[in-house]
């Protein structure tokens, strides 16, 4: 168990809908990273937050947004969902920047 908790584990929804994925980092970890894993794209970095502030954006669509709250948990919001958004979404945390990442078990999103 990495100590990173992601909910829900599975999410099935329809095109055009909006969902929120939640991540609770390991106790005391200030950095939260979001990744998307799909068969064709592999593991793609989406966004990084450090102590509540956005630090970096990767291949994140405009329909997607994220935030990190004062208690350090993070949420990834996906809107106007398309079939191609179906993927496994991982959250990872680390104590500080440039420390190794600890991954959650992921949220499997299926858009039908």
Partner 1 sequence: AQSVAQPEDQVNVAEGNPLTVKCTYSVSGNPYLFWYVQYPNRGLQFLLKYITGDNLVKGSYGFEAEFNKSQTSFHLKKPSALVSDSALYFCAVRDTASNTGKLIFGQGTTLQVKP
103 binds partner 1 (CB under 8 A): yes
Residues 6+ apart with CB under 8 A from 50: 30, 31, 32, 68, 97
Which conformational region is residue 83 in: left (phi greater than 0), alpha (psi within -120 to 50 degrees), or beta?
Answer: alpha
Q: Give yes or no for a contact between 101 and 33, defined as CB atoms under 8 angstroms apart.
A: yes
Instruction: Report, in Å, the least distance between residue 45 CB and partner 1.
Output: 5
For residue 15, the 8-state DSSP code is T
Q: Which of 13, 45, 67, 86 forms a contact with partner 1 (CB under 8 A)?
A: 45
Q: Does 89 bind partner 1 (CB under 8 A)?
A: no
Residue from 8, 28, 58, 84 touching partner 1 (CB under 8 A): that is 58
Binding site for partner 1 (CB under 8 A): 2, 4, 31, 33, 35, 42-43, 45, 48, 50, 55-56, 58, 90, 92, 94, 96-106
């Amino acid at each position: 168990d990495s100590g990173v908790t992601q909910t829900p584990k599975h999410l099935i929804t329809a095109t055009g809908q909006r969902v929120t994925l939640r991540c609770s980092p390991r106790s005391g970890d200030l950095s939260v990273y979001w990744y998307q894993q799909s068969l064709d794209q592999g593991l793609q970095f989406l966004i990084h937050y450090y102590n509540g502030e956005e630090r970096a954006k990767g291949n994140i669509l405009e329909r997607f947004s994220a935030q990190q709250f004062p208690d350090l948990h993070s949420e990834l919001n996906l809107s106007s969902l398309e079939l191609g958004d179906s993927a496994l979404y991982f959250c990872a945390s680390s104590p500080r920047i440039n420390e190794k990442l600890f991954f959650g078990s992921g949220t499997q999103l299926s858009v039908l």
